[in-house]
Chains A and B, each alone.
Chain A
Amino acid sequence: MDSFLVKSAPHRHQPDSTRTIMADVILALVPALVWGVYLFGWRALLICILSVGFCLGFEALFQMILRRKVTVSDGSAVVTGLLLAMNFSVSVPLWMPVVGSFAAIVLFKQLFGGIGKNMLNPVLASRACLRLAFPAAMTSFVEPFSQLPVFSIGVSEEVLAASAGVTPQGFLKNGQFPTGLSLYDLVSGSYSGRIGEVSALLLAAGGLYLLFKRVISWHIPVGFFASLALLCFLFPSFGARWEYMLWQLFSGGLFLIVIFMATDPCTTPITGTGKLLFGFGCGLITFCLRKTDLSVEGAVVAVLIMNALSPLLDRLRFLPKLKKDKAPS
C-alpha cells in the first residue's frame, strides 16, 4: 500500500538558511576588506587568513573534543574570523589573530553553548580582552602604504616608529581635531587605523546591502548613530558643533562596529523597540566614554554593555506578566 510521509505542518519553507545569511554578511564585508588590504598591504590579508583559519579550526576542535555536532559549515566562524581580522591593526604580531580567535570562538562563543547562545559579541569581547592584555600591540597603528614585512611574526620597533600613525580618535582624545587629515579623508578611508574600519563608504555600502537583504534592520544603526550624533552636537568638547559631531561619527571604527557588530542578531534584542533602545543605549555609553580621559574604546565597551542588557530589553513587553508569575500566590 502506498504510504506517505506523515509530518507536522507547514509543508513548505522559504529558501534562506543560516548559511545564506552568513554568506550575505561575508559578501557585505568584502569591499571594506579589499580596501584594507590595498591600504595596508599583504600582511593585512595574511592576518585575515590566519584569523579565519584559526576560528574555523578552534570551533571544529572544540566541538570534536566535546563530542558535539561540528557546525563549522554554517559559516558563522568565517564571519567571526573576518570581523576579528578587521579589528586588528596591521602591525599586530602574527600570533595575535591566533589568540584572538581562541578568545572569540572558545571563550566567548563555544563555552556559552555555541552559535546563538553567546551573550556577548565574540569579536568585540575578544578585542576588549586583547586590548586589556596587550595594550601596546593593540593600540599602535601605522600610516597607510607602510609596506610592513609580510611574514615576520612581530614588527620591529624601528619599522613601527618609522611608520607610526595616530588614529583620528587618538587625536580627538587629546582634545584636538586631527592634523594633516580632512573629513574627506575619513569618508574616503585613507588614514591610519584598523584593517577593516577605515573606509566608512564601503562599510556603509555593505550595510545597505544587508538592509536590502533584510539580514539586519535599520533600528540599531539609526538608534546608535542618531543618539551619538545628537549628543555630540549638543555637547561638543571643543571646536564647532557640526565639525565635532562629524569627526566623532566617522572615527573610531564606528561604522564597522555599528553596522556589523552592534547588529549581530544573537546578542541584540528582537523587537523593533528593543533594538532602538539598544541603539540609543550604545550611543549614550559611547558618548560618555569618549568624553572621559579613560583610554578605552568607547563604542566597543558600549556594545558589550548593551549586549548584556539585551535579554532584558526583549522582555519589556512581558515584564508585568513575568512579575506576576514570580509573585508568591
Chain B
Amino acid sequence: MALSFRGGIALEETKKSALLAIEAIPAPAFAAVPFSRKPGERAAPVVQPEDRVLRGQLIAEPETENSVPVHAPFSGIVKEVCTDGNVGAIVIENDFKNALSESVVPFEKPISKAEPEELCEVIRAAGITDLGKSGVPLARRLQKAQGKARRLIINCVESEPALSANFRLVLEKTQEIVNGAKILLRATGIEKAVFVVEKSRQEAAEALMALCGASPNFKITALKSKYPQSADRQLTEALAGKRLSEGQTPLDRGFFIIGVESVFAVYQAFVYGLPVTERVLTVGGDALERSANLRVPIGASFEDVIRHLGGFVQKPQVVLSGGTMTGIAEESLKAVVGKETGAVIALLQGAEDREDSACIHCGRCVKVCPERLFPLYIARFSDQNQWEKTKTWDAGLCSECGCCTYVCPAGIPLLKKIRLAKENLALPKKGV
C-alpha cells in the first residue's frame, strides 16, 4: 500500500498526456503580463507605454513583502499598462529579436560558499512564487521557514487528475531539478530533501533514483495517485502518517513543501540568471484535437495556446484556467497564462449543476472530504442563510478541492454553497 491520506477520490486519466514531451509554443506577437494589484500583494509597474523592454527585464516591482517582481517574457515595445482591478497587465508587442536584458546574469559564487541570505535575494529577484498553486513569493516562505523546517519536500505530484506537466518536467529536467534542490537546501539550511512522486508515474521515481538515489541527503517517496494528494495538508498527512489539526501548517511537522516547478525556476535563476517568464502547462480537454504539455511565456493568451494545438474541434462550452476539479471557467480566450496557471482545459460539456434531487443523506461527500467536514450540513445551513451554523460545522476549514461536489449523486453544487458560506463569514458583522 502506497502512502496516502484519508478521503479524496481516485480518478482515471482520460487522455494520456503523460507520454507527451514538453514542447515550446512559438513566441506570440503580444503578451499581456499580469501582475497583482490585490491590496497587500501589490506590484507597481516601472515601465511606460512605448518603452522598449528586453527579455528578463524588470517591468513591475513589488510594493510589499508579499508581492513578486514581474519580468518581460521577450524583447519588444510596451503598448499598454493597465492597473484596473485586482490584476493589472503590461502589454508588450514582440519585436522577435529576443534580446536578453543585461540584468540576466548567472550567479557567480559557488553555491556552497554563498550565504543563505544571498541565495534568498536571488530567488526574490527572480519573481519565483509557489508556481502553479498560489502567488505567495517563495523568498517570503523561505524566510518564514528559517530554523523551523527540517525536511525539504519537493512536490512532484500533479495538482489535479489528468495533468502531467510536473511529471514531464521531472522526467526531462531531472538533473536541473536535483541541482535546484541542492541550492534550496543551502538556502534553507535544511539537510535532507524528499522527492514526492506519484506511484502510477514510476518513471519519474526511476529517473530521480538514477541521479540521487545513492545520496544520503535525498530520498524518493511514492504516494498513491489520488486527488487532492498534491495539496500541502494532504501531502503532509500522507508523509507524516498523521493529519494536521485545525490551524496547523506543514511547518509544524518540520516540512517545507515546494512544487517541482519552483525548484526548476530556482535552478534557472542561478545558472542562467533567468527570472520566471515562462511556465509548463498541460493543455487538453475533449474540445481539442490533441493534448500537450507546453512551455508557454507568461502573458501569452489562451488563444495563442489553443492556436498552437490547431484550434478547437468544436466550440467548447467551458474553457478552464486550471484543471477540471478547481479550474476557473474563463469567459473568453483573451485570458492569459499567469504564474499560477497550471493547465488550460477546454471541455465540450462542463458538469452542470443538476440538483435533480434533494440530498438523500448518502454521506459520500463526508467520505471523500479530505478535511473531514460534513459538506451536506454546511450546504444546508448555507441554503438557509444560517452563516453562524456553517461556522460551527467548520466551513472555514474547507480547502475547496471539489471532491464533495464531484461525488454527490443528487448533483448538488455543494462547493458553491460552501464558498457562499465562507464569503459571508468573512464579511464584517452587521451593526459592528
Contacts and interface: CB of A to CB of B under 8 A. Distances in A.
Contacts of A318: 392-393
Contacts of B407: 14, 16
Contact of B406 (A10, A74, A322): A10
Contact of B405 (A5, A10, A19, A71): A10
A13 interface: yes
B interface bracket (residues with beta carbon within 8 Å of A): 35 or more
A5 B315 CA distance: 11
Contact of A1 (B317, B332, B353, B366): B332
B381 to A, nearest CB: 12
Contacts, number: 130
Nearest to B416: A8
B326 A9 contact: yes
A116 B358 contact: yes
Contact of A17 (B319, B354, B366, B376): B354
A293 interface: no
Contacts of B331: 3-4, 6
B351 A11 contact: yes
A322 to B, nearest CB: 6
A11 B331 CA distance: 15
B411 A9 contact: no
A14 B374 contact: no
Contacts of A20: 409
A21 interface: yes
A10 B410 contact: no
A18 to B, nearest CB: 4
Given A2-B315, A17-B354, A21-B409, A9 B327 contact: yes
A266 B409 CA distance: 13
Contacts of B408: 13
Contacts of B410: 17-18, 116
A5 B329 contact: yes
A interface bracket (residues with beta carbon within 8 Å of B): 35 or more
A114 interface: yes
A117 interface: yes
Given A10-B415, A114-B358, A116-B360, A270 B329 contact: no
B332 A4 contact: yes
A10 B409 contact: no
Between A7, A20, A314, the greatest number of chain B beta carbons within 10 A of the residue's beta carbon is seen for: A7
Nearest to B326: A9
A7 B409 contact: no
B402 interface: yes
Interface string B395-427: 000001010011111110101100100000000
Interface of B: 315-320, 322, 324-333, 345, 347, 350-351, 353-354, 356-363, 366, 374, 376, 388, 392-393, 400, 402, 405-411, 413, 415-416, 419
Given A7-B350, A11-B350, A13-B408, 7 more contacts: A2-B332, A2-B333, A9-B327, A16-B409, A74-B356, A270-B363, A325-B388
